[in-house]
Amino acid sequence: MYTRDTTVINPHGIHARPASTFVKEASRWRSNIQIANLSQPDKKPANAKSIITVLTLGMSLGSKVSITAEGADEQEAVDALIALIDSGLGE
Catalytic center residues: 15
DSSP 58: -
By the 8 A CB rule, do 55 and 13 touch? Answer: no
By the 8 A CB rule, do 18 and 10 touch? Answer: yes
- By DSSP bridging, strand 2-7 and strand 32-37 are unpaired
